[in-house]
Structure 1
Amino acid sequence: MTYQLNFAALWPYMPELLAGLWATIELTAMATVGGIAIGIAGAAIRSGKNATLRRIWGVYVEIIRNTPFVVQLFFIVFGLPSLGVKLTAGEAALIAMLINLGAYSSEIIRSGIQATPKGQWEAARVLGLSRARTFFQVILPPSMQRIYPALVSQCIIVMLGSSVVSQVSYQELTFAASLIQSRTFLSFEVYFVSTLLYLMLSMVMRQLLLLAGRRYFGGAR
């Protein structure tokens, strides 16, 4: 028995696939910007002198890095309402991606900061710069340059992991693909096209982030 491919039957459903792709792009863009911001804040805390804040942030990082993303998502969607916190599927998906990327990116950025020679801290102190100015103007830029490729890879991993949010009925690309498959039963064709869309999105996202890195961190590759 031979299977006849029928990609033409998917054409009427392309608007739904593209709408799902756009929802994935929007969610990823917000999670990437917010997650990196959280990561920078976390790296500053982990590199700071306040031991209590360092321990609290360390607990957060360990919890996120040692639990599955889908469990984190389900806790936000199904667990928080028990405490009176009710969120839409989109809000829950964004929060889950933010806290996930924030934890991972803070450790990636911290590794770059730890590789910074201590002489740079001392030189900034001699010049009379505050610790905050030293961190953001002297330490952070070269640290970001060192770890930027790893940070880009982590952002892409989080983007690909966003497919899990279809489990809570957020209408992104995987949700759209599953819905179309249930209507057409064209499993191979639907998931082949969605695979290509994820591949395209990953490649475009990597190039855009690397271009941004070269612009803002001078030489990130």
Structure 2
Amino acid sequence: MTEQLHFSELWPHWPELLAGVWITVQLTVMATAGGLALGILGAAIRSGRPSWLSRIWGAYVELIRNTPFVVQLFFIVFGLPNMGLKMTAGEAALLAMIVNLGAYSTEIVRAGIQVTPKGQWEAGRVLGLTRAQTFIRIVLPPALQRIYPALVSQCIIVMLGSSVVSQVSYEELTFAANLIQSRTFLSFEVYLVTAGIYLILSIAMRQLLLAAGRRWLGVQA
């Protein structure tokens, strides 16, 4: 017998899916902004003179890059409250995504900074700029141009990884899909539609970030 598909039965549940999409988009926007800011700060610290702060940041990067995101999320949700730091599922999900993206983007941005000619640092000193001013105005823009596609890809990976936060009952897209599946038992239809939505989100996010890169950084991609 041929299995009948029942996509039409999902129509009453579209409001739940759209609500999940909206939460996923909000979470992604805030996590991307926070994670990239954290990564740039970390790259500046890691690219400077060796110091205790640089070593601590390096340990943080290695810890995050070598542990599963779901474990990081569970530690924030279930571990931090034991230390007196309580937060909602949404706050925990956002913090976990920022911390995760911050670690990866630190190394991506640092890779772009490391190939920056030393003459650019010297040019900043000649112009009377501080090291921070030289970094922000002279070193960082071309470094971001070099590594921007890799940075965009990492942001998309973090967006897709947001599906894990459904494990802590945060009502994003995957949580909505799981809830609908449990009510309708239309596993194939629900998860095929959900996969399509994630695909659309990924393509849209890539195009928007690349357009922003071309507009603000002059990225040729």
TM over 0.5: yes
The alpha-carbon deviation at position 49 of structure 1 amounts to: 2.0
What's 1:16 paired with?
Answer: 16
The alpha-carbon deviation at position 50 of structure 1 amounts to: 4.9
The alpha-carbon deviation at position 123 of structure 1 amounts to: 1.4
Q: Which amino acid aligns with 1:26?
A: Q
What's 1:113 paired with?
Answer: 113
What's 2:64 paired with?
Answer: 64
Within a 5 Å distance, the mapping from 1:123-138 to structure 2 comes to 123-138=123-138
TM-score where L is the length of structure 2: 0.99
Q: Which amino acid aligns with 2:49?
A: K
What's 1:29 paired with?
Answer: 29
TM-score where L is the length of structure 1: 0.99
Instruction: Provide the rounded CA distance (Å) in 1 between the counterparts of 2:158 and 2:55.
Output: 25
Within a 5 Å distance, the mapping from 1:1-221 to structure 2 comes to 1-221=1-221
**Which string of whole-angstrom CA distances, capped at 9 and with x for unpartnered residues, describes residues 30-82 of structure 1?**
00011000000000100122511110100000000000000000000011111
1:21 touches 1:173 (CA, 8 Å); kept in 2? yes
SS of equivalent to 1:162 = helix
Instruction: Provide the rounded CA distance (Å) in 2 between the counterparts of 1:161 and 1:78.
Output: 19
Q: CA RMSD in A?
A: 0.7
Structure 1 runs (4+) greater than 4 angstroms displaced: none
2:61 touches 2:103 (CA, 8 Å); kept in 1? yes
Identity of aligned residues (%): 74
Unaligned runs of 5+ in 2: none
Instruction: Provide the rounded CA distance (Å) in 2 between the counterparts of 1:127 and 1:75.
Output: 47
How many residue pairs match? The answer is 221
Q: Which amino acid aligns with 2:109?
A: I
Instruction: Provide the rounded CA distance (Å) in 2 between the counterparts of 1:93 and 1:115.
Output: 34
The alpha-carbon deviation at position 220 of structure 1 amounts to: 4.2
